Amino acid sequence: MAGGNPALVFPQAAPVPAKLTYSRVFKGSNPEYLRLTVDSKGSGTFEGHKIDEALSPRSFQLSPATTEHLFNLAAQLDDFHSLILESHKKVANLGEKTLTYEQGEVVNRVAFNFTENRAAREIVDIFEALGTVGEHIAALEFEMKYDPLGLSQELLLIQSELDNKSLADPEILLPTLEKIARGTRFLHLAQVRAQQIIERIQPSP
């Protein structure tokens, strides 16, 4: 209609990022409680502690490649919708594991002790390897504050695990390693090992 008011256009709300969560509860293991969450943009949190300890989540940023791989694996499992993963074979108690997919009002969750599903096992392996990185960060930060003499041994363990390719996205360690490499109150050996790891995992420019 001539002279009429133009149609109003309302901006659409940005889609809520999807989120994957992995948790594992296994009394007597180290840590007894492990929980990692990552969204489709790679923003995540990690916590690992004894079952009866208070929550202490730490933030991290996952690489785009690992983030995409995790969500692709979840998509292969229909984002855990109506999924049964438990093998029901007679195996030892390996800890209760739970995988959760969330987006908006959609929440899909599956729990299991042991599964033979390859995609699910790969998801678990990646999250466990990320959990190991989180544990190293917690240990390094504790030793920097309370036990600087223990840093060299912890860094040696990280070097060994890098050799074995048992760490996922080890570049998450970089901010903590840089504090050690530049920290004048730490042993020279710790500084050298930290710098060696930095040079090894530093992303190429």
- Fold entry, domain 19-201: Mago nashi protein (3.30.1560)
Q: Which residues of 36-52 are buried (b: 16+ CB within 10 A; e: fewer)?
A: bbbbbebebbbbbbeee
**Ordered DSSP codes for 128-154:** HHHHHHHHHHHHHHHHHHH-GGGHHHH
- Side-chain-side CA neighbours of 152 within 13 Å: the count stands at 7
Output the tens digit of pLDDT for each of the chain's 205 residues: 455 556 666 566 667 899 999 999 999 888 999 999 999 999 999 999 998 887 789 999 999 999 999 999 999 999 999 999 999 888 889 999 999 999 999 999 999 999 999 999 999 999 999 999 999 999 999 999 999 999 999 999 999 999 999 999 999 999 999 999 999 999 999 999 999 999 999 987 7
Q: How far apart are CA 155 and CA 73, in angstroms?
A: 31
- The reported pTM is 0.90
